[in-house]
Amino acid sequence: MKQKKTLAGLLSVVTVIIVLISCSKSNSTGTVTPPGTGDSALANIGTNIIIPSFQTFSSAMVALDASVTTFTATPNATTLSAAQAAFKTAYLAWETCSEYGFGPAADQSLITATINIFPTDSVLIKSNISSGSYTIDGIANLKAQGFSGIDFLLFGADNATTLGRYTTDASAVNAKKYLSAITASIKTKAAAVATAWSASGGNYINQFTTAIGVSSGSSLSLLMNAFVQDYDVVMKSYKLGIPIGKYGTTVLPLAPSKVEAYYSGMSVQLMIQQVKALQNMYLGGTGYGFDDKVIASKVTKNSVPLNDVITAEFNTLIAKLTALPDPLSAQINNNLTAVNDVYTEATKLVVLLKVDLSSALAIKISFQDDDGD
Amino acid sequence: MTAIKLKTYIYKPIHIAPLAFFRIAFGAVLFISSIRFIVHGWIKDFYITPRFHFPFYGFEWITALSPAGMYALYTCMALGAFMICVGLYYRIATVLFLCCFAYAEMIDKTYYLNHYYLVTVMVLLMSLVPANRYFSVDVLCNPSLKRTHVPAWTINTFKWQLAIIYIYAAISKMNTDWLINAMPLKIWLPANQFIPVIGKWLALPATAIIFSWCGMLFDLSVVFLLVNRRTRPFGYFFVIIFHLLTALLFQIGMFPYIMLAATTIFFSDSFHMRMLKAISSVIPSLRKIDIQQNYVPSPMFRKPGFIFLLVYFVFQLLIPIRFLLYPGKLLWTEEGYRFSWRVMLMEKGGTTFFYVIEPATGRRIEINNRDFLTGYQERMMETQPDMMLQYAKILKAEYEKMGIQHAAVQAESYVTLNGTGSRLFIDSTVNLAEQKETLFGHKKWILPYQP
């Protein structure tokens, strides 16, 4: 009799605990962790790296939009070159944000797939301008806007010809409108994302720092998935692989016009910026980052601490990129070996981040239940 | 003497209550599980969005149904589970659920989980026993169906099955990786170090080794603790602790709850009577006085049923040890890994660069796997050789459509197992499109594991 009571008691305890677990899990993103118990890597990366990156980018977009306004009001050589300079600054700032394409950035579509599709469709841009009818952010227009769209609009020809398109050309008014529409759109999205992250705005930072753990939906998992995607697909495949003919079915192997920032010719600079941003995030700046987690895991690769292997590969890749002069399209035509060399190093880092890093920290690129097999 | 004992163990009439309660509890978990799958939107993510699937060897004819068909399949599954739970058209319900569930699981091995296999075998066994002859809608509608006693085997079958599961799970943990290196728990536990209260203990190296040993000893002993009347409360207490801890720490979905429901079968009939009484206090129409009525299986099915169960259990014992047919380290090659109750044994990750080579020009095209597979399929493919082979054939066929005839497919695959660092996994010079899948053949192109 006593045993039956014990068993019945146990069974009711189970029910209560199951309810508790399922409740705590479903709220895991909303609950507030008591101070001092959170994941300090999340707090550090969120507060000191991600938020400042989006803020810098948002300011750079405000500046770019302002110089485009000045340029379209009084198009001349000075205002054009000011707009071009502001564009370069904003584009470089974007490279420090592209790895955070989750949460607010995904909500606002401030991601590579919407604001930095390259190569741009210059034919569509021209027809949009001459017809004057388009939806700038529409799905059909994705290849005719964003940074690569501005790249074409500001650098698509020599400066005299470019100026002509905004002054003497029959569609000059439409061209000005089109350029302004693109910068205004990105500016608005960038401001919205920066606000959504900030503690005084949407306070996504709170959600980010409290969604601890490594299961899907946790901040580490979101972050890891986002930056691996950004590095593996955007950087390795789109920025390097496709232009040097690694993908696709065409028999012609090289496609140098498919590089990022083809017209302004700053492709390598942008890649360096992206890899450095990734490296900085990995290191957590000067604070607690992924590197500290990897060191704590004591995982090694070929008897070398994994963190040493990863940091060394970051440095090697940045060194190889730095040795490669812009424009990348010319390098692909004249110096392919060096570009292939960069591609090989970039691939090594994919393996380290996607396999070794994620495995050492048990962060899965995972969407469903798992039973570890 | 032992023969008589064995006969008692199989044929002795015992009270049906454990079987009826098991039907209700397990049916309820299956119902929740099916609804959960639908609500999470997984039908779309797993069966509608992917362009390609990875069927099991010999079952390539099982393909994903149309979107409407997939939703219908899961609706029938949930309906079947509900009917099992309440005991309505029970035999039909078990067959309906089993067919729907098994079909869905066979479409794509990406989604293979041990607990899906467990559900399949448990419902298969449930379809053989008269779990609806007591405390069910079937009895309510037709009281002549009611039986109070069933042959012991109808209940013991489930205990044997659970014993096989737990003991094989224990055996699979008896290796250096698990017991000496405390892998993969040494990686997985610190990943949870920021959860409240217990988090700070999880990062300690000693915790991983203690958890590893306790986990193995739990799997090894729990069935014996549950069988024995005196130790049963302790046994179930450990069941609760073990499974709820895994639910808290790992993303393993319904598995802990399925085991919590299934292991109640070990409780005594008087315990189950009390549970059923508790339920019937809410539904008074179920409260009836019992007169002993024994269930006697129709003589027509007695012999075939006995032979079927005998063969079934022989297979259950053999399948988990089929890995002995293959050379090399099991966790690395995964040859003979599935259907063997190996749960939570490894932290394995990989990335694979596939190349399609056009023989005419020698041109080598690198593949962006996401153009063909979903992220989940890609992740599973990247550590499992049989899926790489299937993917290579998909690529060959797709590139043939794009005009590259007789394409060769090579893969440069890097895999890390239990934190040992990524290294080449398969021979990257082999043309995978030419390799054949066999039932028990070893894949020679998997590189041997170098510790």
Average pLDDT estimate for B148-167: 95
pLDDT the model gives residue A17: 58
**If pLDDT is split at 50, 70 and 90, which confidence band does A216 have?**
confident
- Best probe of the B interface among A313, A359, A364, A366, by most B CBs < 10 A, is A359
Residues A292-350: tens digit of each pLDDT: 999 998 899 989 999 999 999 999 999 999 999 999 999 999 999 999 999 999 999 99
A215 touching B (Cβ < 8 Å): yes
Percent of chain A with pLDDT over 90: 76
Which residues in chain A touch residue B195, judged by CB atoms under 8 angstroms apart? 212-213
The region of weakest confidence among A43-47, B9-13, B109-113, B425-429 is B9-13
Please give the CATH superfamily to which domain A39-198 belongs: M75 peptidase, HXXE motif (1.20.1420.20)
Full 3-state SS string of chain B: CHHHHHHHHHHCEEECHHHHHHHHHHHHHHHHHHHHHHHCCHHHHHHHCCCCCCCCCCCCCCCCCCHHHHHHHHHHHHHHHHHHHHCCCHHHHHHHHHHHHHHHHHHCHHHCCHHHHHHHHHHHHHCCCCCCCCCCHHHHHCHHHCCCEEECHHHHHHHHHHHHHHHHHHHHHCCHHHHCCCCCHHHHCHHHCCCCCCHHHHCCHHHHHHHHHHHHHHHHHHHHHHHCCCCHHHHHHHHHHHHHHHHHHCCCCCHHHHHHHHHHHHCCHHHHHHHHHHHHCCCHHHCCCCCCCECCCCHHHHHHHHHHHHHHHHHHHHHHHHHHHCCCCHHHHCCCCCCCCCCCCCCEEEEEEEEEECCCCCCEEECCHHHCCCHHHHHHHCCCHHHHHHHHHHHHHHHHHCCCCCCEEEEEEEEEECCCCCEECECCCCCHHHCCCCCCCCCCCECCCCC
CATH architecture of A210-368: Up-down Bundle (1.20)
CB A322 within 8 A of CB A329: no
Q: How confident is the model at residue B13 (pLDDT cuts 50, 70, 90)?
A: very high
Q: Does A26 touch chain B (CB under 8 A)?
A: no
Max CA pair span of chain A:
98
- Residues in chain A with CB shorter than 8 Å from the CB of B232 are 3, 7
Using pLDDT thresholds of 50, 70 and 90, give the confidence band for residue B1: low
Contact between B349 and A10 using a beta-carbon 8 Å cutoff: no
Q: How far apart are alpha carbons B433 and A191 in whole angstroms?
A: 50
The structural domains of chain B, with segments of one domain joined by +, span 1-151+267-297, 347-434
Comparing A39 with B37, the larger pLDDT belongs to B37
Q: What pLDDT score was predicted for residue A23?
A: 45
Which of A85-99, A133-147, A209-223 has the lowest average pLDDT? A209-223
Cβ of A237 and B368 within 8 Å? yes
The pLDDT value recorded for residue A215 is 79
Nearest to A355 among B233, B366, B422 (CB): B422
Give the pLDDT confidence of A106-132 residue by residue, as tens digits: 999 999 999 999 999 999 999 999 999
Q: What is the pLDDT of residues B311-352, one digit of tens each?
A: 999 999 999 999 999 999 999 999 999 999 999 899 999 999
Domain ranges of chain A: 39-198, 210-368
Interface check for A32 against chain B (CB to CB < 8 A): the answer is no
Cross-chain Cβ contact A215/B251 below 8 Å? yes
Question: Are A39-198 and A210-368 equal in CATH topology?
Answer: yes
ipTM of the complex: 0.85
Subunit contact A359:B187, Cβ cutoff 8 A: yes
